[in-house]
Structure 1
Amino acid sequence: MTLAAFELCLRSATVALLLVLAALLFSDFRKVLAGRLAIAFALGSAAHAVTASIGAAPLQSSAWPAPLIALSTGNIVVFWLLTRALFDDAFALRPWHGLIWAAVSAFSLVNCLWIAPGGHAPAAIVTINLIVLGFITLAVVQTFASWSADLVERRRRVRVFIVAAAALYGGLNALLQIAIAGSGVAADWANAINAAVLAGIVAAIAYAMMRVDAADLFAAAVEAFTANAPPAAVEDAADQKLVDALMRLMADERIYRHDNITIGTLANRLKIPEHRLRRLINQRLGYRNFNVFLNNHRIEEAKAALADPEQAEVPVITIAMDAGFQSLGPFNRAFKATTGVTPTEYRRLRVQPSPGPA
């Protein structure tokens, strides 16, 4: 078998696997944001597998692959958004996310149709791949920054693998493209290696995703988690004792007020390993994120203060910081996400004006 035939087989197998994965995701998770982004990422990756070429300027003889190349390039934005949606249950798409994807894809399309054929491909290729590296860096930083707060143990493990594997391939591909941009050499060996690595990574990611509970990875719905949660009546007595001790720390000591409180701090106070505390908060209390767990306690305290007529003149920021928030912005966002109204609106609705003199 020639090198070109071997590469074609690898590309075909990768595309087939990605299309099957996209179909399965569509069947089960098309109504979930992370599922829809995963479908888009699988399709964009299939476009990449079809069009990926190292060393040669694109579209030297035909312009038909241009839309696929643009889709492939824009897929790095989808990758960034997917990592946000997979590992941040509160993440929501905004119109500017779509504008970023459109801008990156449009630049790639312009490069394919006009810049590269005009002989100016090297600079454009370097620019595109620097954009790719930028989004990969952003995805990796954001993913690992939120890693410690993730309470879903299996999701914690698989997030490292998925992000590291995808980022490693994308990063190496982009660096190789930059290194030989404009050389005019179609590196057959590099393309074959690239196709083999891509096929291996796609297969490994598909396998890893199949080994993780879908509700853990895609956060299909709070109801799905609750439906699978063990009934309180059958909870292990030792676990329940620890949960009671944890709730006393929250209610009596208000430990959530402390600066830079971490799950490690709480685990040390309870004299248990971190992984056990993660499991308790996740499986017994129903939280998927440690920061959400803390903020819910902080918001409950803030709600009581805002509804107290005796604290009607206390500034909202003072109430927020007394409850453990570090600044007003995160408090306002968390409060509205929980209650549906801003802190000021909540106070106005709860605190009735004092009646005037008869």
Structure 2
Amino acid sequence: MYQTIHIVLLIVSFGLLCSQLFVRQKKVVHLLFAAFCGSMAITAIKRLGGDGFGFYQYFLAMGACMTCNGGWLLARALFRQGRAILLQHILVAAAIALLMVSLQAMQLLQQFWPESQTLLASARVVCKELLILLSSAILMLTLWEGCRGYSQACGAERRHRQLFLATYGGAIAICGVIAKIWLPADGAALQHDLLSAVAALTIMVVTQWLIYSRSHNPLISPLHVAADTTTKKLLEVEPAKTEPLTTVLTDGDMELCDNIRQLLFQQQVFLQANLRLTDLAKLLDVPEYRVSKLLRSQFHASNFNQFINTLRIEYAKTLLSDPDKGHWPVVVIGLESGFASVGPFTRSFKTIVGYTPNEFRQTVNCRVSELLGRSKST
């Protein structure tokens, strides 16, 4: 059983690693997933060979240094858009990888310099405790990536996050908590390795499905609003009337369009107060003129501020229409929708909708009362 599970782990991880070579438009998430699968494959090889590799087993173990840290970076790349991974994130992941490599290096040194065993043993204890501490924190951060933005997500996006949290959370709970409590003392290490291998298999398969699904079907959040004419126009990705119909987008422009849609409609960055075109370009890590051009030609945005305010107003309409938020003052609705103060919110709302926020709320309440009255009469 032990051999079979780890052979399957080796085959699946190596197969998923090789499959990333056939991705035409590789993104960071594909490279990170390849590194993660590579670490899992090396882990499987080491488990299968055991002490039969001699001192080479330590070199093999050094190669498996992108497990929990790789999973964290992968989760960031999966659920965040724009510059999901910055230098500080790479440094944290590299620090964990360095601790893993150092731990194996010290075990290797003990084979050749037995006289330094006491010093190396102490250093190993320190290194191991740091590794446990950082790994635990990274696992929690990985779960946080799935929780982050969950309340605003809906539809397929919410289902993706639920699957991710169930997979990673279940693996952590079973291997990190339940196994240590319920496994018998005899053969506990062997059974723990089996559970870890099954958990790794599940994580890799689920993550591959999520990468494929999110890459081939970019998710656009409906902003929890009714699909009225304004929202439909905003979500359409067709050339604007002011642009020639023969405009052909390059692969880079199409990818940038997807990233803009995901930032605006999935992550809802328009809810950030005082959002500027410069801020959006920085998040996407591209020049401003490219973002401005695509907003005009593909999102029908004649003006960046007007476009963002339209998204904010659509979001505010959902809050004003929500009976559970009927006690919220207009100023709170405006602030929650991304406006810096109530004045600009009221002016923009009246310009776009034709009513003030209070008038719109009263109109919605009247319509709801009418519908309830008709349902009771029937």
Normalising by structure 2, report the TM-score: 0.51
Shift of the 156–22 alpha-carbon distance from structure 1 to 2, 3 Å rule, reads farther
Match of 1:243 among 228, 231, 237: 231
> Take 1:112 and 1:141, find their aligned partners in 2: how far apart are those partners?
30
Deviation, 1:297, is 9.1
Q: Is the 8 A contact 1:133 1:171 kept in 2?
A: no
Q: Which runs of 5+ in 1 are unaligned?
A: 1-5, 220-224, 226-237, 248-281, 305-320, 327-358
Deviation, 1:293, is 4.2
What is residue 324 of structure 1 aligned with on the other side? 338
Aligned-partner residue type, residue 22 of structure 2: S
Aligned-partner residue type, residue 166 of structure 1: Y
Deviation, 1:16, is 1.2
> Per the alignment, in what secondary structure is the counterpart of residue 147 of structure 1?
coil
What is residue 91 of structure 1 aligned with on the other side? 83
> Take 1:324 and 1:49, find their aligned partners in 2: how far apart are those partners?
49
Q: Are 2:105 and 1:113 equivalent residues in the alignment?
A: yes
What is residue 354 of structure 1 aligned with on the other side? none
> Per the alignment, in what secondary structure is the counterpart of residue 151 of structure 2?
helix
What is residue 167 of structure 2 aligned with on the other side? 165
Q: Is the 8 A contact 1:108 1:128 kept in 2?
A: yes
Q: Is the 8 A contact 2:72 2:141 kept in 1?
A: yes
Cα distance per residue 1:170-197 (max 9 Å; x no partner): 5654558999xxx998732332333344
What is residue 295 of structure 2 aligned with on the other side? none
Q: Is the 8 A contact 1:80 1:138 kept in 2?
A: yes
Shift of the 303–14 alpha-carbon distance from structure 1 to 2, 3 Å rule, reads closer
Deviation, 1:48, is 3.2
Deviation, 1:8, is 1.5
> What aligned pairs does 1:66-81 form with structure 2 within 5 A after superposition?
66-81=58-73
> Per the alignment, in what secondary structure is the counterpart of residue 239 of structure 1?
coil
What is residue 36 of structure 2 aligned with on the other side? 41
> What aligned pairs does 1:208-357 form with structure 2 within 5 A after superposition?
212=213, 214-216=215-217, 239-241=227-229, 243=231, 287-295=264-272, 299=276, 300-301=304-305, 324=338
What is residue 155 of structure 1 aligned with on the other side? 157
Q: How many residues align?
A: 245
Q: Is the 8 A contact 2:75 2:142 kept in 1?
A: yes
What is residue 8 of structure 2 aligned with on the other side? 13
Aligned-partner residue type, residue 32 of structure 1: K
> Take 2:148 and 2:22, find their aligned partners in 1: how far apart are those partners?
31
Aligned-partner residue type, residue 269 of structure 2: V
Aligned-partner residue type, residue 197 of structure 2: A
Cα distance per residue 1:23-42 (max 9 Å; x no partner): 22332266212222222222
Deviation, 1:158, is 1.9
Deviation, 1:202, is 3.7
What is residue 193 of structure 2 aligned with on the other side? 191
**Percent of aligned pairs with the same amino acid:** 16
Aligned-partner residue type, residue 163 of structure 2: F
> Per the alignment, in what secondary structure is the counterpart of residue 91 of structure 1?
coil
Query: What RMSD, in angstroms, separates the aligned Cα atoms of the two structures?
Result: 4.6
Q: Is the 8 A contact 2:13 2:40 kept in 1?
A: yes
Q: Is the 8 A contact 1:77 1:135 kept in 2?
A: yes
Q: Are 2:96 and 1:104 equivalent residues in the alignment?
A: yes
> Take 1:132 and 1:165, find their aligned partners in 2: how far apart are those partners?
18
Deviation, 1:295, is 4.7
Q: Are 2:19 and 1:24 equivalent residues in the alignment?
A: yes
| 4+ long deviations beyond 6 Å | 58-61, 176-179, 183-186, 244-247
Deviation, 1:104, is 1.3
Q: Which runs of 5+ in 2 are unaligned?
A: 111-116, 221-225, 236-257, 277-303, 309-334, 341-378
Bigger relative CO (Cα 8 Å, ≥ 6 apart): 1
Deviation, 1:125, is 3.6
Cα distance per residue 1:247-288 (max 9 Å; x no partner): 9xxxxxxxxxxxxxxxxxxxxxxxxxxxxxxxxxx9xx8744
Shift of the 75–202 alpha-carbon distance from structure 1 to 2, 3 Å rule, reads closer
